[in-house]
Amino acid sequence: MIALSIFLIPLLTSFLLFNSKTGNAAKTALTSLILMLLVAIGGRVATAYGLTGTLSFPLISSIGFSFSLLWDGPAFLMVLLTIIAGLGIVYFSQDKEIHSSNRFYGWIMMMLSAMIGAFLAGDALLFYLCYEWALIPIFFLILKWGHGEHLSKVTMRFFLYTLFGSLFMMLSLLYVHQSMATPSFDMSAMWAAGKALTAGEQGWVFAGLFIAFAVKMPVFPFHSWQPSTYDHAPIQGTMLLAAIMLKMATFGLVRWAIPMTAVGIAENGHWAILLSVISVVYASFMALTQKRLKMMIAYSSVAHVGMISAGILSNTDQGTVGGLFEMFSHGILAVAMFVVYAIIEKRYGHDRMQEMGGIRTAAPAFAFLTFILVMCNVALPFTSGFVGEFLLLQSLAHYSLVYTAIAGLSVILGAAYMLRGFQAMFLGGNTHAFEALSRNEKNILAIAVLLVIVLGVYPHSLLQLIQNVY
């Protein structure tokens, strides 16, 4: 029931928003998200005292499709991330002018619902449906509220690319499904059927899954839709994509790919790990040459995600747990970094870093908070970025020390581009009028920084939670 209500609250909110003409849409969305947070945390506590959080009822029994939601540690973690990131996004937008705001927040809430569905899904088909369903809200968010001269082209490219990628996942899931005596999309049945396949078959099944996930994450060379989409999307859309949506893919690796095809990955999945590692370095190089802040953050995100993918695919405890932890950390960081971008862009009217300078003198508190976020981005110890990234590298080292060294280049390159950007924007002697941060802007950055540090200094509870499967 807990899982179901967390899935339904945002969905109902979105219907409510679509059908109401007046009222404060942002407040409605915010209230709904706070309710979700309370239910989620209360539900987690209640589960500890024996309440059943999960739910399953058959929908189409002939193919073994059931509406089944899980409520284990990883699922809870991702739901928590969705809610927190959602709160951040809505809270940040609250004091901004947005046209047709009812529809805007309606799509956001629907998107959250779809993604929560994917995170909670205990049924492969349900996972797939939610995974695809999430595309509709984001498509409209980008198309109607985005900007830039190639908006429709970019939106179409994003939509078709990701839709096309997912088809491979469908094929893989169907292949596993049809291999069963009594076909079922239920998670444990799918896991068992996947494990029963030969290593060769598993390799192919994994390939299909990975291509779908690689497009969504994205991983080199399937990433080319991402920078322009991030760029054209409204900032809230970019946050949704970077903070939560791509996590459906990395979470898919943990929830579906690894349990079903671990042997296939170990024997025939070498290429996927290699691509992930290449992705880390390639994206770091891309970030290094960007002149614009938003693009730099976008590529830096690709680098982080490549690390998550490589670490998870190395298939050790540290990889899985570190991957999930890093998903959470990266989600918070992504929202915060794009908030930083939005703050600066609003005041300068552009985001070309080399044409700025001296923000620190005008806004020391903003500079201080941003610096900590930058440090989290370069995985400095005692920030959440370090815990995840170190565990992932550790996992990769079990697979190959050479790959670890290559992926580890991002340790150097990340510092280079992040500090270069920070220096250009915040340091130096220039002075440019810089309007003080609004209350919302200040609060959201402060909370993000607090989370990032608390999770970095004391990650223990969250790590235990992640390992608390079932």
Partner 1 sequence: MEKLVALIPLFPLLGFLYITFFGKNQSKGTAGAIATALVALSFVLAILVFTTQLHGAHATFVKVLDWIHVGSFQVDLSFVVDPLSSLYILFITGVGSLIHLYSIGYMHDDEGFHRFMSYLNLFVFFMLLLVLGDNLLLLFVGWEGVGVCSFMLIGFWYKDHANNDAAKKAFVMNRVGDLGLILGMSLIFVQCGSLNYNDLMIGGSAIGHLGKWATLGAVLLFIGAMGKSAQFPLHTWLPDAMAGPTPVSALIHAATMVTAGIYLVARFSDLFTISEGASQLVTWAGVITAVMGASIALTQNDIKKVLAYSTVSQLGFMFAALGMGAYTIAVFHVVTHAFFKALLFLGSGSVIHAMGGEQDIRRMGGLKSHMPTTYWTFLVGTIAIAGIFPFAGFFSKDQILAHAMENNTVVFALLMLAAAGTAFYMFRMFYLTFHGEFRGTHEQEHHLHESPKTMTIPLVVLAIASTVGGFMGFPHAIGHAMHIEHALDHFLSGSIELTHSHMSVATEIALALISMAIAGMMILFAYNIYIKKATPVLEDAEINSPLHRLLWKKYGMDELYDNLFRKPIDALSAGLYHWVEQKMLLGMVDGSGDAAKGIGRILQPLHNGQIVTYLLAIIVGLIALIFAL
Among residues 67, 282, 341, 434, the one that binds partner 1 under rule CB under 8 A: 282
Where do we find the tokens 């290699």?
Answer: 274
- Residue 278, amino acid: I
- Is residue 469 close enough to count as binding partner 1 by CB under 8 A? no
Residue with tokens 């200094």, as numbered in its chain = 457
Q: Is 401 an interacting residue with respect to partner 1 (CB under 8 A)?
A: yes
Instruction: Assess contact for 350 and 231: CB atoms under 8 A.
Output: no
Q: Which residues pair with 186 in a beta bridge?
A: 123
Q: Does 310 bind partner 1 (CB under 8 A)?
A: no
Taking CB under 8 A as the rule, does residue 62 contact partner 1? yes
Kindly tell me which of 178 and 188 has the beta carbon lying closer to partner 1. Answer: 178
Our finding on whether 415 is near partner 1 (CB under 8 A) is yes
CB atoms within 10 A of CB 19: 9
What are the phi and psi torsion angles at 59 (to 5°)? -105, -55
Is the CB of 54 or the CB of 279 nearer to partner 1?
279
Number of helices (H), then strands (E), in the chain: 22, 2
* Contact by Cβ (8 Å): 65, 123: yes
Which tokens sit at 163? 């839709």
Residue from 6, 239, 286, 376 in contact with partner 1 (CB under 8 A): 286
| CA pair distance 117, 111, nearest whole angstrom | 10
Residue 13 binding partner 1, by CB under 8 A: no
Binding residue for partner 1, selected from 41, 439, 464, 469, defined by CB under 8 A: 464
CB of 2 to partner 1, least distance (A): 26
Which positions from 364 to 383 touch partner 1 by CB under 8 A, shown as an x/- string? Answer: -----------x----xxx-
Residues that bind partner 1 (rule: CB under 8 A) add up to a total of 72
Q: Of 34 and 160, which has the nearer Cβ to partner 1?
A: 160
Is residue 271 a contact residue for partner 1 (CB under 8 A)?
Answer: no
Considering the complex, state which of residue 31 and residue 224 has its C-beta at the smaller distance from partner 1.
224
Residues 165-184 binding partner 1 (CB under 8 A) are 170, 174, 177-178
Find out whether the peptide bond into 137 is cis, omega within 30 degrees of 0: no
Work out which of 147, 350, 352, 460 binds partner 1, going by CB under 8 A.
460
Nearest to 279 by CA among 123, 413, 420: 413
User: Applying CB under 8 A, which part among 66-74, 262-270, 390-398, 432-440 lies near partner 1?
Assistant: 390-398
288 binds partner 1 (CB under 8 A): yes
- Nearer to partner 1 among residue 349 and residue 429 (C-beta): 429
Amino acid at 161: Y
Could you count the other beta carbons within 10 Å of the beta carbon of residue 188?
10
With binding defined as CB under 8 A, does residue 163 bind partner 1? yes
392 contributes a contact to partner 1 by CB under 8 A? no
Residues in contact with 106: Cβ distance below 8 Å, sequence separation at least 6, in sequence order: 13, 14, 15, 17, 18, 25
Binding window for partner 1 (CB under 8 A); candidates: 10-18, 236-244, 335-343, 457-465: 457-465
Half-sphere exposure of 201 (CA within 13 A, CB side): 16
Nearest in space to 306 (alpha carbons), one of 227, 248, 230, 392: 392
User: Which residues inside 315-354 make contact with partner 1, applying CB under 8 A?
Assistant: 316-318, 321-322
State which of residues 428, 438, 446, 468 lies at the interface with partner 1 (CB under 8 A).
Answer: 428
Q: How near is the Cβ of 320 to partner 1 at its closest, in Å?
A: 9
Structure tokens at 341: 């971008």
Nearest approach, Cβ of 408 to partner 1 (angstroms)? 5
CA atoms of 208 and 186, how far apart (whole Å): 19
How many Å apart are CA 272 and CA 251, to the nearest integer? 16
Residue 305 binding partner 1, by CB under 8 A: no
Q: Which of residues 105-144 bind partner 1 (CB under 8 A)?
A: 125, 129, 132, 135-136, 139
Q: Which is nearer to partner 1, 40 or 359 (CB)?
A: 359
Separation CA 263–CA 313 (nearest Å)? 11
